[in-house]
Amino acid sequence: MDLDTALGIAASGMDAQTKRLRVIAENLANQDTTGSTPGADPYRRKTVTFENRLDRQLGTDTVRVKQVGRDGSEFPQRYDPSNPAANADGFVKQPNVNSVIEVMDMREAERSYSANLAVMQASRSMLTRTIDLLK
């Protein structure tokens, strides 16, 4: 594997983790967003699915975001009869976003991004040393 391929693979990983972080940020920003009418569904947590895909230019598999989906889990309910989104029994559907899970996902994405960045920095350093040797 040449250094250009290593740079391309690392860049692909960084791009996928950047998209993942955007989805996590959206989930956290909407963790308190309820419906606006009685019984309406609140914000539904988004999920990211990755896939390996052959990059013909690099000649190897790289990671990409396959899709941004929706978490199908049930909405927790909270009793708040004064809320405009409350149903006839006074319960309001809450988003299915768990901030602890989102923060853990964010840390995992950050570590993966940092690992890919370290690969890019090492590859760049090796390329620089090779150029210096050729002078």
Using the predicted structure, report yes or no on whether residue 130 has a pLDDT greater than 90. no
Mind listing the pLDDT tens digit for each residue in 83-103?
889 998 999 999 999 999 999
Mind listing the pLDDT tens digit for each residue in 57-74?
888 999 999 999 999 999
End-to-end CA distance of the chain: 24
Band (pLDDT 50/70/90 cuts) for residue 1 is: low
- Given CA atoms 75, 77, 83, 87 in this order, what sign does their dihedral have? positive
Query: What are the residues whose beta carbons fall under 8 Å from the beta carbon of 76, sequence distance 6 or more?
Result: 93, 94, 96
Alpha helix (H) residue ranges in 1-135: 3-29, 99-134
What is this structure's pTM?
Answer: 0.86
- Given CA atoms 104, 106, 112, 118 in this order, what sign does their dihedral have? negative
CB 45 within 8 A of CB 95: yes
